[in-house]
């Protein structure tokens, strides 16, 4: 049966039927203290806003009908919202969120607060649109996909993506004809430049024949980064400016990925560095694979989504929580 059809049927089920939270809360009592620390830190990372009961006055709780105009986001949200009373107030923003929000709001993405960038703590992260963002990562992590070893791959940087944003266009103008790259635009051909760069889509197997896979942010995060880091190719990219549930803000340059300057002009230098030092490539790939592992435990991922919601509703005075949850919600690491 079609995976998308099954996903949609399951999502509709989530929006229609409530579920008792007792079983999922019982899991907390089974988790060792060492794991609870990691869970506490991640909950704090996703929900680091200063939330109080006054916040619910600012919330405009969307109806399910409104939310279903963004069905993938709605289904992923209601998978865990169905554990809560129907009368709770909250704010929800679907789609690519690339600006700080005015008050605490559940969403998929936010700017990373590097340097002087405006505070993004009101953007409370949930694992939304996860089929698109995490599906290929799970596929590669299962090691069922035929993948050549790093040393057998082509010494090229590979990229396919829609080149509508200024930074993507800048990259293509610099490197489209460069012998180190196989880069191409996919999508609309609305202007002559896009037509010149068009190469059409390539499947996962084609991407994975290359040592380097370029990860360029679009409207917010780069969707391909998660599965590249689950593979045995290298992610090569500038320092990320946005983050999702994947916690892109915690990634370390030249530790989890190969760092490019924002103007991309050190690309040749970085590729040459890796090709001359393949052991460094192995280390970066190993670090990336280890990083991905924390997102592969479905039971823990489900619990974390549930706890982010619980923290918000607890801090806005709308629900009571257990003693264990109180301890979890005390930790601040953002």
Q: Exposed e or buried b for every residue in 3-18, given b needs 16+ CB within 10 A?
A: eeeebeeebeebbeee
Write the DSSP symbol of residue 145.
S
pLDDT (0 to 100) of residue 2: 60
pTM for this entry: 0.93
CA 242 to each of CA 104, 112, 247, 289, 322: distance values in angstroms, whole numbers, following the listed order = 17, 5, 9, 21, 33
Residues 284 and 23: beta-carbon distance below 8 Å: no
Q: Exposed e or buried b for every residue in 249-265, given b needs 16+ CB within 10 A?
A: bebeeeebbbbbeeebe
3-class secondary-structure state, position 18: coil
Shared domain for 112 and 29, answered yes or no, is yes
Q: How many domains does the chain have?
A: 2
Question: Which tokens belong to 98?
Answer: 């690339």
Shared domain for 109 and 169, answered yes or no, is no
Shared domain for 162 and 287, answered yes or no, is yes
CATH at residue 213: 3.40.50.2000
Shared domain for 199 and 53, answered yes or no, is no
pLDDT (0 to 100) of residue 116: 44
Shared domain for 148 and 237, answered yes or no, is yes
Q: Exposed e or buried b for every residue in 234-247, given b needs 16+ CB within 10 A?
A: bbbbbbbbbbbbbb
How many angstroms separate the CA atoms of 185 and 163, rounded?
A: 6
Shared domain for 164 and 116, answered yes or no, is no
Structural domain span for residue 157: 134-244+247-293
pLDDT in tens, 48-66: 888 888 877 777 888 777 8
Q: Provide block-wise average pLDDT over 10 residues at a time, the chain (334 residues).
A: 77 85 88 89 92 79 80 93 94 94 94 70 95 88 74 96 96 97 94 94 94 97 96 97 97 98 97 97 97 94 97 95 93 58
């Amino acid at each position: 049966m079609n995976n998308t059809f099954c996903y949609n049927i399951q999502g509709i089920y989530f929006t229609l039927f409530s579920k008792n939270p007792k079983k999922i809360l019982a899991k907390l009592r089974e988790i060792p203290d060492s794991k609870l620390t990691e869970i506490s830190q991640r909950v704090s990372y996703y929900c680091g806003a200063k939330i109080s009961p006054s916040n619910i006055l600012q919330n405009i709780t969307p109806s399910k009908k409104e939310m279903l105009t963004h069905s993938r986001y709605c289904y992923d949200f209601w998978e865990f919202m169905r554990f809560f009373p129907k009368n709770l107030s909250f704010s929800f923003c679907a789609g690519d969120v690339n600006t700080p929000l005015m008050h605490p709001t559940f969403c998929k993405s936010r700017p990373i607060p590097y340097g002087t960038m405006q505070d993004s703590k009101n953007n409370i992260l949930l694992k939304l649109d996860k089929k698109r963002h995490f599906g290929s990562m799970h596929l590669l992590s299962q090691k069922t996909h035929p993948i050549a070893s790093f040393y057998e791959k082509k010494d090229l940087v590979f990229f396919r993506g829609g080149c509508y944003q200024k930074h993507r266009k800048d990259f293509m103008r610099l490197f489209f004809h460069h012998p180190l790259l196989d880069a191409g635009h996919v999508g609309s051909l609305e202007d002559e430049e896009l037509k010149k760069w068009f190469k059409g889509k390539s499947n996962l197997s084609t991407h994975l024949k290359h040592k380097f896979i370029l990860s360029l942010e679009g409207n917010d995060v780069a969707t391909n980064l998660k599965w590249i880091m689950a593979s045995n190719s290298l992610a090569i990219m500038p320092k990320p400016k946005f983050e999702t549930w994947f916690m892109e803000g915690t990634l370390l340059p030249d530790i989890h990925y190969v760092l490019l300057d924002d103007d991309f002009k050190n690309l040749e230098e970085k590729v040459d560095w890796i090709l001359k030092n393949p052991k460094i490539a192995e280390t970066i790939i190993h670090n990336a694979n280890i990083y991905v592992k924390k997102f592969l435990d479905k039971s823990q991922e489900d619990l974390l989504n549930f706890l982010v919601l619980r923290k918000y509703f607890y801090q806005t005075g709308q629900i009571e929580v257990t003693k264990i949850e109180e301890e979890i919600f005390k930790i601040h690491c953002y």
